[in-house]
């Protein structure tokens, strides 16, 4: 059986949201969407009839010296970032795989090209945000190396 395209999946999602508001939206399988042949994202239904969850696998070329700082920086990002309205979050797996996820607001009139444009925007925001997190982690790792052993540093905290 062929995988549905984005247009078909959106139609199924809207139908499920209208016909079974309490249960139908959760019975729809997520869809994997190729973005420019080198990025893949997953769209899945949420409890809200006008919201989709977008999961993105990001290329996280991580320098070893930054890894100890990344979890802390990701937590800081959770509470203080410029994309709060999209609920952009990051998760770093033990193998350094980076996953970002967010929510997309989708109106019933939105067709596949409009949703695809929103996906591109969210992917760009996630990559920009990850760049900010990585720069902060590298800076903190560099500052930590410059602090003499045994001396506390307000900047490294």
Task: Summarize pLDDT for 29-38 with one digit per residue, the tens.
Answer: 889 888 876 6
- Confirm whether 91 is domain-assigned: yes
- Confirm whether 155 is domain-assigned: no
- Please tell me the distance from the alpha carbon of residue 70 to that of residue 3, in angstroms, as a whole number: 36
More confident residue, 148 or 3: 3
- Confirm whether 151 is domain-assigned: no
What's the whole-number mean pLDDT along residues 71-86?
A: 60
- Please tell me the distance from the alpha carbon of residue 125 to that of residue 121, in angstroms, as a whole number: 6
Rounded to the nearest 10°, the torsion over CA 25, 27, 33, 39 is: 100
Domain of residue 98 covers 6-146
- DSSP characters over 30-58: PEEEEETTTEEEEEEE-SSTTEEEEEEEE
pLDDT of residue 146: 61
12-21, 98-107, 148-157: range with lowest mean pLDDT: 148-157
- Confirm whether 152 is domain-assigned: no
Beta bridge partners of 54: 43, 102
Nearest 5°: the CA angle 120, 124, 127 is 140
- Checking if the pLDDT of 105 tops 60, the result is yes
State how many domains the chain has.
1
- Confirm whether 156 is domain-assigned: no
With pLDDT > 70 as the criterion, what percentage of the chain qualifies?
Answer: 68
- For residue 58, the domain's CATH number is 3.30.1460
pLDDT band at 142 (very low <50, low <70, confident <90, very high): confident
- Please tell me the distance from the alpha carbon of residue 137 to that of residue 66, in angstroms, as a whole number: 6
With pLDDT > 90 as the criterion, what percentage of the chain qualifies?
Answer: 16
- Confirm whether 89 is domain-assigned: yes
pLDDT one-digit tens code per residue, 27-63: 678 898 888 766 789 999 888 878 899 999 887 666 6
- Confirm whether 157 is domain-assigned: no
- Checking if the pLDDT of 14 tops 70, the result is yes
Using DSSP, state whether 101 is helix, strand or coil: strand
pLDDT of residue 7: 92
Task: Using a cut of 0.85, tell me whether the model's pTM lies above it.
Answer: no
Residue 96: name the closest of 141, 53, 64, 140 by CA.
Answer: 64
- Confirm whether 42 is domain-assigned: yes
Residue 57: name the closest of 95, 89, 101, 94 by CA.
Answer: 101
């Amino acid at each position: 059986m062929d995988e549905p395209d984005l247009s078909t999946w959106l139609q199924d999602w809207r139908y499920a949201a209208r016909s079974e508001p309490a249960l139908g939206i959760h019975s729809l399988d997520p869809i994997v969407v190729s973005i420019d042949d080198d990025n893949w994202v997953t769209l899945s239904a949420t409890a809200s009839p006008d919201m989709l969850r977008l999961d993105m696998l990001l290329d996280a070329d991580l320098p070893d010296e930054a890894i100890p700082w990344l979890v802390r920086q990701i937590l800081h990002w959770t509470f203080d970032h410029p994309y709060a309205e999209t609920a952009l979050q990051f998760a770093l797996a033990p193998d350094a795989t980076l996953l970002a996820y967010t929510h997309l607001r989708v109106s019933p009139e939105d067709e596949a090209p409009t949703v695809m444009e929103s996906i591109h925007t969210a992917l760009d925001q996630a990559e920009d945000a990850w760049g900010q997190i990585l720069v902060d982690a590298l800076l903190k790792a560099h500052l930590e190396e410059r602090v003499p052993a045994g001396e506390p540093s307000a900047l490294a905290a």
